[in-house]
Amino acid sequence: MTLRGNGKQKIFLDDADYSTFLRMLMTVKKQFEWLIHTYCLMPNHYHLVVETEHPLPKAMHLLNGRFAHRFNRRHDRSGHLFEGPYEAKPVDSDEYFTECLRYVADNPVRAGLCATAAEWPWSGGETYDCHRDPERLPPA
């Protein structure tokens, strides 16, 4: 799934924002029993590949609402932080799963933020930490 900043604005302005989001993500992960295969936090959006038995809307509302509230308070701003609802697509094959992992891992490289996915500090995952070790990806 992915969610972008309103008007493509930045949703992470500094390391504290990234860290806060990750703490909140781990709280939602535990509460809603998510398996986070991989994630990537970019300056103006984020990607998650998660597996869960629970419906996504409640968890996503909690995660995004809490983060937006904290972000607005911390940066003395108001209004919508995120642009519309999150976009989620079911992963229905091993091939698509591999494609998603690779796409998320390579996002900061394609954006010119780093030379290799391993250099981006705001990515990772539980099952395939393809950002740190591309060899752990399932075969293409």
Instruction: Report the CATH number at residue 70.
Output: 3.30.70.1290
pLDDT, residue 127, reads 63
Q: How far is residue 10's CA from residue 135's CA, in Å, rounded to a whole number? A: 31
pLDDT, residue 140, reads 38
**Counted domains in the chain:** 1
Low-confidence residues in the chain, pLDDT < 50: 130-132, 134-140
What is the average pLDDT score of the chain? 90
Buried residues in 6-31 as b, exposed as e (16+ CB within 10 A)? eeeeebbeeeebbebbeebbeebbee
pLDDT, residue 129, reads 53
SS3 assignment, position 98: helix
Residue ranges making up the domain that contains 21? 2-136
| pTM of the predicted protein model | 0.89
User: Phi and psi for 38 in degrees, rounded to 5?
Assistant: -165, 160
pLDDT in tens, 47-86: 999 999 999 999 999 999 999 999 999 999 999 999 988 9
**Which one, of 27, 16, 21, 36, lies nearest residue 59 by Cα?**
27
Q: How far is residue 133's CA from residue 46's CA, in Å, rounded to a whole number? A: 20
